[in-house]
Structure 1
Amino acid sequence: MRCQECEQVDEIVFDQTRFWFHMPTSESFARVASVFDRRDMAARGVGGNCLEASVARDGIDGVMTALFGELNKKELKETKVLTTAGGDPTPLDMSRVMSADVFVNRVKGQWLVDALEDELYDTWYQPIVDANATTAENPFALEGLLRMRDRDGNNISPGYVFQLAEHAGLLFPLDIAARTSAVRRAAESGFRGRIFVNFNPSSIYDPAYCLRTTASAVADLGLKPADITFELTETHRIQDKDHLKGILAFYRQAGFKVALDDIGSGWSGLNLLHEMRPDFVKIDMDLVRNIDRDPLKQSIVGHLISIAREHNIEVIAEGIETEAEASLLRDAGANYLQGYLFARPAPIGTILGQPAADQPAA
């Protein structure tokens, strides 16, 4: 389940490296040049607000910190950076040109590149249960959630990981790793039920190209497409709806189901519900929290469930922590429930009650 071009992470050489900068204005050029002057580093202008400099590994962090101090956000975004191992740039280096803000975050996030290459991650799963269930036994489905580890085996906050990946231009390989791991770990455990796999549409260039390996790998692992639901995340940030429609059309044509996350968190989510007609919707957890004590939330959720049911869309209420919340959502007509009340995310072996020796290696 690999797409080599999407997974490719352009290497930044961290030994003796030549940096090539292009600044948007002559004034920003002068301030970047001063960063190297103050450090007695070799740097020279090469015309057109371009600067070439050599930086040793132990000096890169200091230079990047100084750039943040000298350039404002707009300048960081519009300043372009390229590194070479020693020679002058060639046409093949063009793919590695990035904005200064992305480059700085890539330097800060080099550990994430290493973690992806060394597969220092796993998938934990959280059960989605039938609305009439009171426990997580025999769940309707499992949602796969990426868990990145450091080299000491400690979990790193998923929110921090995905935020850094976005700022460092690493969202594409991270999202692919998350999708791959969610399906592979479930298959390795012997689980043959429904799996919800999160995906961010901005991490997909061309559906037919970038997703075909995912589709073929599901079959190779002995899983049925109908049991895989791809759950669309970050719905509030979607800009290109035609691109999203192409992604969802690809999934459906391949036999998969689709879900929209965080419905009720904003007007954009309601528009997507109307335009995309998913198989499942997830009620935003902010609406679920303390819904038993909030008549306005009850009214909003009741109307959302009614709209979904009118269009044969099944409803999952997530983030449930109390029996009172669960009871009200059952009465409101939610089809499925998810949250800490039933189970916290855990390795799939723990969810399935497998002995440690039978669980897939992390």
Structure 2
Amino acid sequence: MKANTPNKPLTSQNQNTPLNMAATYRGLQLVSHFQPILSVSHRRPVGFEGLIRSRDSRGHSLSPAVLLNLPQTSEAHLSLDRLCRRLHMHNFARQVQDESWLFLNLNAQSLVEQQPDVGFMQSLFTQTGLPAHRMVIEILESEIHDRVYLRWLIAHFREMGCLIAIDDFGAGHSNFDRIWELEPDIVKIDRSLIQSASHSSRVERILTGIVSLIHEAGSLVVIEGVESEREALIAIAANADMVQGFYFAKPRPDLYPAADYIDAIDDLLAKQRSQRFKASYQHNQDFKKIETLFRQATSHFAISNAFDISCNLLFQERRAVRCYLLDEAGYQMARNIYSPFYQQQLDKRFTPLISGDNANWSHKHYHFRAIENPGQIQVSRPYLSVADSRMCITVSQTVVVDDRLFVFCCDLDWQDD
């Protein structure tokens, strides 16, 4: 490697900052760029991903994809991969002042046939002064089909003391079984998911579920490729631990100061709280209209024991889909009673699930919460109804009729706007 000699230091704030280093490869000049990975809760970068940039002799930039396709053999791929790692680690060590991580991508093509050498990384730790626990090794697991070798590779870097990140999860053929099997420290969710979530409430819910499942598996989550305020707000709402993308910062040779992000993240958190409050307020306003009808229906049933007529009171609300009655043990007492409006929309493909005869719903939150809180209206979160495979919420309450305890339930249509 050779020292890069630009006209000015990499950061204008400190004229004593060491100059970055560059490398030459097949007539190209290679330099390091770094993109911050931000912890939402800490409101600052906790890591930086090292990204390679290249220029030809005329100063024209080459895309990373073009550069990484230049090698023709696994040995050549490994040589370039090591050159990039060496460049990133040296340039990162020259600038970093805190305990932040350096995320390093491993070229899967170089690792399929060429096993990594412990001595190479150990010498870099010594040269740069960066300890192994500051390194996050990013592996694109979908490109390594030999699972035994993939597990060995992860164990190899983990034994050094490095953290392991699975990159681009959610793209291509990513499977959750790899998460359970490989137990990465961090999972980076591919941009395609946050991009789709910004256009679809359904995908937004799926993203939240994916983050939750990864957390259950014991891994932290980075949502990468965040490029707009809406995507940033969705990532925060999905409970991502960290975020990365052009919305926050583009890759550049020097490291962004932590103070640059405090106001921006505080602003996002304030907007997310406001969105949550508005959604909760609207939900409450919508429910107040339904609550009055639901109280009328349950009171009528308690006096008359005429369930059909009681349900008709609720069907004045256009969102009311079906009513059904459960006993104290959760057994359904009769068939579902559907709103006349929704009877015309029933999907015959789900006919085996439409009838609730002899069903037992004691394991459902709308039953056991009603039993645990007699006389109090219970409102579920939105969920997919098994009766017709549509999103709904269930309103339920215990009702005593002739000294018997029942749970009166009404499903409300809760489709995305």
Shift of 1:220: 3.2
Instruction: Report the counterpart of residue 31 of structure 1 in structure 2.
Output: none
Could you list the runs of 5+ residues in structure 1 that have no partner in the other structure? 2-113, 354-362
Alignment of 1:117-156 (within 5 A): 120-132=29-41, 138-156=44-62
Shift of 1:125: 0.5
Shift of 1:119: 7.0
Aligned residue pairs: how many?
A: 235
In the alignment, structure 1 residue 182 sits paired with structure 2 residue 88: yes
Alignment of 1:33-72 (within 5 A): none
Instruction: Report the counterpart of residue 342 of structure 1 in structure 2.
Output: 248
Alignment of 1:1-362 (within 5 A): 115-116=24-25, 120-132=29-41, 138-165=44-71, 170-192=76-98, 193-204=100-111, 205=113, 207=115, 210-233=117-140, 235-348=141-254, 351-352=256-257
| Contact 2:28/2:55 (<8 A) preserved | no
CA distance in 2, matches of 1:124, 1:269: 30
Q: Which amino acid counterpart does residue 251 of structure 1 have in structure 2?
A: F
CA distance in 2, matches of 1:143, 1:217: 17
Q: Which amino acid counterpart does residue 154 of structure 1 have in structure 2?
A: H
| Contact 2:74/2:110 (<8 A) preserved | no
Deviation digits for residues 67-108 of structure 1 (CA, Å, limit 9, x no counterpart): xxxxxxxxxxxxxxxxxxxxxxxxxxxxxxxxxxxxxxxxxx
Identify which range, 326-335 or 211-220, moves more after superposition. Answer: 211-220
* Identity between Structure 1 and Structure 2 (%): 28
| Contact 1:115/1:150 (<8 A) preserved | no
| Contact 2:179/2:217 (<8 A) preserved | no
Shift of 1:238: 1.6
CA distance in 2, matches of 1:212, 1:274: 30
SS of equivalent residue, structure 2 residue 25: helix
Residue 302 to residue 343, structure 1, CA distance change in 2 (3 Å) = same
| Contact 2:37/2:47 (<8 A) preserved | yes
| Contact 1:201/1:244 (<8 A) preserved | no
Q: Which amino acid counterpart does residue 54 of structure 2 have in structure 1?
A: M
CA distance in 2, matches of 1:116, 1:211: 24
Shift of 1:250: 1.1
Shift of 1:194: 1.0
CA distance in 2, matches of 1:236, 1:344: 26
Deviation digits for residues 19-40 of structure 1 (CA, Å, limit 9, x no counterpart): xxxxxxxxxxxxxxxxxxxxxx
| Contact 2:133/2:163 (<8 A) preserved | yes
TM-score (norm 2): 0.52
Deviation digits for residues 196-247 of structure 1 (CA, Å, limit 9, x no counterpart): 000023313554x5243113321331112111101013x3222212112111
Shift of 1:165: 2.8
Q: Which amino acid counterpart does residue 210 of structure 1 have in structure 2?
A: D
| Contact 1:123/1:144 (<8 A) preserved | yes
Divergent runs of 4+, >4 A: 166-169
| Contact 2:74/2:114 (<8 A) preserved | no
Residue 232 to residue 331, structure 1, CA distance change in 2 (3 Å) = same
Q: Which amino acid counterpart does residue 179 of structure 1 have in structure 2?
A: R
CA distance in 1, matches of 2:148, 2:134: 26
| Contact 1:125/1:143 (<8 A) preserved | yes
Shift of 1:133: 6.6
Relative contact order higher in (CA < 8 Å, ≥ 6 apart): 1
CA distance in 2, matches of 1:219, 1:301: 40
CA distance in 2, matches of 1:118, 1:188: 25
Shift of 1:270: 2.7
Shift of 1:151: 1.6
CA distance in 2, matches of 1:282, 1:180: 23
Residue 308 to residue 166, structure 1, CA distance change in 2 (3 Å) = farther
Q: Which amino acid counterpart does residue 287 of structure 1 have in structure 2?
A: L
Identify which range, 159-168 or 238-247, moves more after superposition. Answer: 159-168
Q: Which amino acid counterpart does residue 32 of structure 2 have in structure 1?
A: T
SS of equivalent residue, structure 1 residue 289: helix
Residue 132 to residue 292, structure 1, CA distance change in 2 (3 Å) = farther
Shift of 1:302: 1.6
Q: Which amino acid counterpart does residue 222 of structure 1 have in structure 2?
A: G
Q: Which has the higher helix share?
A: 1
Residue 303 to residue 174, structure 1, CA distance change in 2 (3 Å) = same
CA distance in 2, matches of 1:278, 1:323: 29
| Contact 1:130/1:336 (<8 A) preserved | yes
SS of equivalent residue, structure 1 residue 182: helix
CA distance in 1, matches of 2:178, 2:72: 23
